[in-house]
Amino acid sequence: MNKYLERLYNGIIRENPTLVLMLGMCPTLAVSTAAVNGIGMGVSTTAVLILSNLVISALRKVIPDQVRLPAYIVIVASLVTVTELLMKAYTPDVYETLGIYIPLIVVNCIILGRAEAYANKNPVGLSVMDGLGMGIGFTIALTLAGALREILGSGTCFGAQVLPKTVEPMAIFVQPPGAFLIIALFIAIMNAIGIKTRQRKLVESGCDGCCAACSAACEQKEEVPQR
Amino acid sequence: MKSLILIIVGTALINNVVLNQFLGICSFLGVSKQMKASASLGGAVIFVITIASAVAWLLYNKVLAPFGLDFMKTIVFILVIAALVQIVEMFLKKKSPAVYNALGIYLPLITTNCAVLGVALTNVQNEYGFLESVLAGFGTGVGYTLAIVLLAGIRTRIDEEVLPAPLRGAPIVLISAALMSIAFMGFAGLVF
C-alpha cells in the first residue's frame, strides 16, 4: 500500500484515536449529544491536527528537544485560536453549541500525542496525512457516538425523525450519564470482539500515554517510591 | 453572599466538573485506582485550580482586556497554568516539604488537566468578579476531588467482584461513572 494511504488507514482503522488509542475522551464524552455536534467538533479538531502536524513537522529540526512540549503547546494554542475566530465568524451556530470545548482543543491529547509520536520525526507530507487520518478517525468515532446518543435520546438522527413518534426516547442518553454509558458500550463491544484497545493500560496503570505531556509527568511519577 | 454560596454549590455539585462537564476525564479514569492517590490528586487539583483562577482573572481583566488582547486568552492561560504549576511545585518543595510530599508528584500531572483551563475560560465567559472566580475555582476543585474519591471507593469494591470479561477494565469504570453522574443529576434540584 502507498505509504500516504497507509497513514490514512492507520488513523481511521488501525489506530483510531478514540476507539483504539482512547485519546481525547473529554470532547468525545462532552459534545456527542447529537450527530451534528460530533461532525462540528471532529472537523475543527481535524483542521487543527493537520495544521499542527504540518507546522511541527516543518519545524522538527529547529525546535530544541528540551523545550519541545512548550513549543508544541504554543503552536497548537495559536492554531486553536485561529480556528475559534474562524468558527465564530462563519459558523456561529456550531460555535455556540460547542462553546468552551473549542478552546479546549488545545488540551486534546490527540493533538499533542500525534506531535510527539509522529510529526516530530517524520517528513511534512506524511505528517499531514497522519493528521488527516487521525482527524477523520476521530470525526467518525464522534459522529457515531453522537448519532447513537441522538437516536436513543431524542429519537432523531442529524435532526431527522428516526424512531416512530410513539416510542418515547430515553432522555438519559442525551444527558451526561448517557455519554459514559455509550462509551462504555463501545469499549465493551470492542473487547467482546477481541480488538485490543489501550483502555486496559490506561485504566490500570494511570494516565500514561494519554498525552505527551501527561506521560512525561507520569514518568517522573513512577520514580517516586510507592508509599 | 447568597450568590457566592450558590457558585460553590453550583460548581462542586450541580455542574460537577467531571460528571457533568467532562473535564479532567483522563486523570479521573487513570488515577482513581487507588484511594490514597485519588485523595492526594484531589488536594493538588483544589490547590492549583484555586490559584490558577485567581491568576487567570488578574491577567485577563488587568492585562488582556484593557489592551484588547482578549482573543489571546487561550494561549496565555495555558502557558500561565504550565508556568504556575512549576512555580508552585518549586515553592512547596522549598517552603513546605510536608505539603510537597503529599501533593508534589501529582502537580506536574495537573498542567494538562483540562479542568484547570476549563475553569479559567468559564470564569471569563460568565464575567465573574475576582472573588467569584476564586470561589468557582475552589468549588470546581472540590467537585473534582469528590468525584474521584467516590469513584476510587467504588473501584476498590469492583476489583473484588467477578465480571463478564468484556466489561472488565474501562467499561465497568465508565458505567460506575455513569451511575455517579445520574446520582449527581439529583443535585440539579438544589437550586434555591
* CA dist A167 → A35, A171, A209 (Å): 20, 12, 42
Whether B68 has its CB under 8 Å from any CB of chain A: the answer is: no
pLDDT band with cut points at 50, 70 and 90 for residue A220: very low
Range from A19-28, A213-222, B177-186 carrying the lowest mean pLDDT: A213-222
pLDDT at B41 over 90: no
Chain A CB within 8 Å of residue B174 CB = yes
Of B78, B111, B178, the CB nearest to A77: B78
Q: Tell whether B121 lies on the interface with A, counting CB pairs under 8 A.
A: yes
Judge whether residue A212 has pLDDT over 50.
Answer: no
Give me the pLDDT at residue A167, please: 84
Residue A118 lies in a domain: yes
Residue A227 inside a domain? The answer is: no
Phi, psi of A208 (to 5 degrees): -65, 140
A175 touches chain B (CB under 8 A): yes
Whether B175 and A178 lie within 8 Å, measured CB to CB? no
Across residues B81-92, what is the average pLDDT? 83
What nine digits make up the cell of A126?
Answer: 506524511
The answer to whether the Cβ–Cβ distance between A199 and B82 falls below 8 Å is no
Q: Quote the pLDDT of residue A38.
A: 92
Which of B181, B138, B152, B120 shows the shortest CA–CA distance to B28? B152
Chain B residue with Cα closest to A197:
B170
A187·B182 Cβ contact <8 A: no
Q: How many domains does chain A have?
A: 1
- If you average pLDDT over residues A81-96, what whole number do you get? 93
Residue A155 sits at the chain B interface (C-beta within 8 Å): no
Residue A211, pLDDT > 50, answer no
Among the residue ranges A45-59, B84-98, B132-146, B150-164, the one predicted with the least confidence is B84-98
- A82 interfaces chain B, CB cutoff of 8 Å: no
The residue that leads in pLDDT, A56 or B37, is: A56
ipTM, two decimals: 0.86
Distance, in Å, from the CA atom of A126 to the CA atom of A132, rounded to the nearest integer, reads: 10
pLDDT at residue A204 in the model: 41
Task: Evaluate whether A100 touches B73 at the Cβ level (below 8 Å).
Answer: no
Q: Which of A17-21, A81-85, A106-110, A214-218 is least confident?
A: A214-218
The beta-carbon neighbor of B169 closest among A85, A200, A208 is: A200
A178 touches B: beta carbon within 8 Å: yes
Q: Which long-range contacts (CB under 8 A, 24 or more apart) does A41-45 make?
A: A41/A98, A41/A101, A41/A142, A42/A135, A42/A138, A42/A139, A42/A140, A42/A142, A42/A143, A43/A135, A43/A139, A44/A83, A44/A87, A44/A94, A44/A98, A44/A102, A44/A105, A45/A105, A45/A108, A45/A110, A45/A111, A45/A135, A45/A138, A45/A139
Containing domain of residue A64, as a range? 3-222
Average pLDDT over residues A55-82: 90
* A191 inside 8 A of chain B by CB: yes
pLDDT band (50, 70, 90) for residue A59: very high
Task: Report the largest interatomic distance among the alpha carbons of chain A, rounded to a whole angstrom.
Answer: 62
State the count of interchain CB pairs (< 8 A) between A and B. 158
pLDDT in tens, A135-187: 999 999 999 999 999 999 988 888 888 888 888 888 899 999 999 999 899 88
Spatial separation of the C-alpha atoms in residues B46 and B28, rounded to whole Å: 14
Burial class of residue B102 (count of CB atoms within 10 Å of its CB; 0-12, 13-18, 19+): middle
pLDDT at A198: 54
Closest-CA residue of A relative to B171 is A184
Quick one: closest CA in B to A78, which residue? B75
